[in-house]
Amino acid sequence: MSLNPTNKAFITCHLLTTQYPTESKFICVYDPGSSADPSHSRSRRVLPWKNKDMDLIHSHQVIPYTRPRTISALPHELLAQVFLFCKAMSPPIYEIEGRELHAEEIISHVSSLWRSIAIGLSALWATIHVDRRVTRARVLRYLERSRSHPLIISLELYGVDTSAMCKVIAPHSHHIQHFQAESDMWTDMLTLGTFFGELSAPLLEYLSIVSPFEGPSRDNRSERPTMPMFSGGAPSLKRAQFAGMGVKFRWPSPATIKTLHLHELDARPICYSRFTGTLLGMASLVSLTISDSIISAWSEDDTAISIPTLKSLRIIGHGRFFTNAGEILISISAPSLECLSLVGDSQHGEINLEPLLDEQDDSDENLRFPALHSLTCIGVTFGIDDYVSLATAFPTVTRLALSQLSPKSLLDALGSYEPDEDMEILWPHLHTLTIFPTAPDNQRLRTMISNRRKAKVPLQRLRLRSSVLSRLNEKDWVSARVVLEGLTNQWMDDWDEHCSGTDVL
């Protein structure tokens, strides 16, 4: 394979010393076809070099340089590190001369030196993505070159000969660290279970199965087959996702799972016993996300499932789905739960708190989540009565985050205080209030803060979007003894991921 010079973005790389306050070093990768000057802003891409790799660079005394030095002059060990860095920072696929190529394939066809180093670098070939464009020969080549390096396997089984691909990959299960499979055919899920069901995966840390909406039996979930996955053992499994109910999978090593994402993808209710059965044995579960799921009502004979290690719970209702958060909340006993997020979609989805709000018991010894201190309500359409009930159910909250002040009287409710009446203010321990992205009513906000101070439960920190914060009179808040904090765009981006659940995938 030959590449013309304008496509050889990897061929000429330079180590540069950049004068930043932290004296960080950077690698500059640029396309020589666009400019002969590597400092030309339009011809280069500056990439941060991790501190641990800087020790390697210094050990070979290749920096600092007073001028750029071509990558061909670098020691082979360092060149291998550059290859891995470029692989991590590059797009999944390059379109070159009508061909779709991955970064590692481009690198290995530049020169005989580069090829020998690249082929000998097992980590460069350890990420294997399978879709309809990928041939069996390519998968075999990657597996051979990856040797015993931990594998990242991603299967998009749309139009793929699933049996043929599984037959190639299954013998390498001992090296799989990350396994993700998705298909629109429930028969593909059965094939996965056939090939991987009884195998062991000692290095497996992440498992994701996304199955179709419907399985072999549309009307009766109990008739759907239960397929094992890595039932031979996966002692390192920490994160898992299960989306869809086409085929029921039996989780390997549930006691080790720390992060779990259940995504129903189906508008039909999940049997209560099946939902709680999924969580049985998860003795290390710290974070649980439940998306677009309806849990059928429980009977008097059912009991709440205990998850003593659970710290974070997210319940998400998006798209065309309705999520009955109330049923989910009463089905879980989590004495260590610290953070609860209720995420809805005001246009398409809905979060329903019944029957949680029907079983109020505000005695301290009967609190459902006695350690809860953070409550987030995003895109939900709660009324004042709902918020009052939430405050009764979760009185220990110290941090409250709201995406909207709906209804507008919510601020009034947060500051409702009459000294002559025996009425406790909502969330008496609340010290931090986050409101985004809309601007709150300034006068109502000041009144709420003033009333809480009079009630001797003062608000200490107010977090608003930076653009909103700039319009406020800072002197007013200094006198109110409230610290103002601006929400950055990066914070908003991170929060979007948190609310969508994609940060655990």
What is the pLDDT, as a whole number, of residue 11? 36
How far apart are alpha carbons 106 and 173 in whole angstroms? 28
Q: Token match 């018991």: residue?
A: 361
Q: Token match 């719970």: residue?
A: 313
What is the pLDDT, as a whole number, of residue 127? 94
One-letter amino acid identity for 9?
A
Written as six digits, the tokens of 468 are 């909103």
At residue 365 the predicted structure's pLDDT band, cuts being 50, 70 and 90, is: low
Written as six digits, the tokens of 440 are 């709150």
**Of 51-65, 264-278, 441-455, which range is least confident?**
51-65
What is the pLDDT, as a whole number, of residue 74? 63
> Measured between alpha carbons, how far is residue 452 from residues 210, 354, 460, 462, 482 in Å?
47, 29, 10, 13, 12
Q: Tens of pLDDT along 372-421?
A: 999 998 877 777 888 888 888 899 999 999 887 766 778 888 887 666 55
Sequence-distant (≥ 6) Cβ neighbours of residue 422 within 8 angstroms: none
Higher pLDDT, 408 or 232: 232
For range 6-24, the mean pLDDT: 33
Q: Tens of pLDDT along 104-155?
A: 887 787 778 888 989 999 999 999 999 998 999 999 999 999 999 999 999 9
Written as six digits, the tokens of 239 are 């994160």
Q: What is the mean pLDDT of the chain?
A: 74
Higher pLDDT, 481 or 25: 481
The rounded percent of the chain whose pLDDT value lies above 90 is: 26
Q: Inform me whether the pLDDT recorded for 309 exceeds 60.
A: yes
How far apart are alpha carbons 465 and 488 in whole angstroms? 7
> Measured between alpha carbons, how far is residue 238 from residues 274, 275, 279, 339 in Å?
22, 20, 14, 20
For range 252-267, the mean pLDDT: 79
Written as six digits, the tokens of 410 are 């919510």
What own/partner pairs with CB < 8 Å and gap ≥ 24 does 279-282 have? 279/305, 279/307, 279/332, 280/254, 280/305, 281/254, 281/255, 282/254, 282/255, 282/257, 282/307
- Kindly give the pairing relationship between strand 374-378 and strand 350-351: unpaired
* 26 class by beta-carbon count within 10 Å (0-12 exposed, 13-18 middle, 19+ buried): middle
E-strand ranges in 383-460 read: 399-402, 432-435
Q: Inform me whether the pLDDT recorded for 200 exceeds 90.
A: yes
How far apart are alpha carbons 83 and 10 in whole angstroms? 8
139 alpha-carbon distance from chain centroid:
27
Written as six digits, the tokens of 313 are 């719970």
How far apart are alpha carbons 44 and 25 in whole angstroms? 15
Higher pLDDT, 296 or 487: 487
What own/partner pairs with CB < 8 Å and gap ≥ 24 does 470-474 have? 471/439, 472/442
| DSSP three-state, residue 374 | strand
pTM: 0.77
445 alpha-carbon distance from chain centroid:
33
Q: Which of 103-112, 304-313, 342-351, 378-387 has the highest mean pLDDT?
A: 304-313
How far apart are alpha carbons 356 and 393 in whole angstroms? 8
Does the bond joining 355 to the residue before it have cis omega, within 30 degrees of 0? yes
Q: How many residues in the chain? A: 505
E-strand ranges in 244-392 read: 248-250, 259-263, 287-291, 305-306, 312-316, 322-323, 332-333, 339-343, 350-351, 374-378
* DSSP H or E stretch at residue 463: strand 461-465
At residue 212 the predicted structure's pLDDT band, cuts being 50, 70 and 90, is: low
Degrees, nearest 5: CA angle 258-84-134: 80
Half-sphere exposure of 438 (CA within 13 A, CB side): 10
259 alpha-carbon distance from chain centroid:
10
Written as six digits, the tokens of 159 are 């139009």
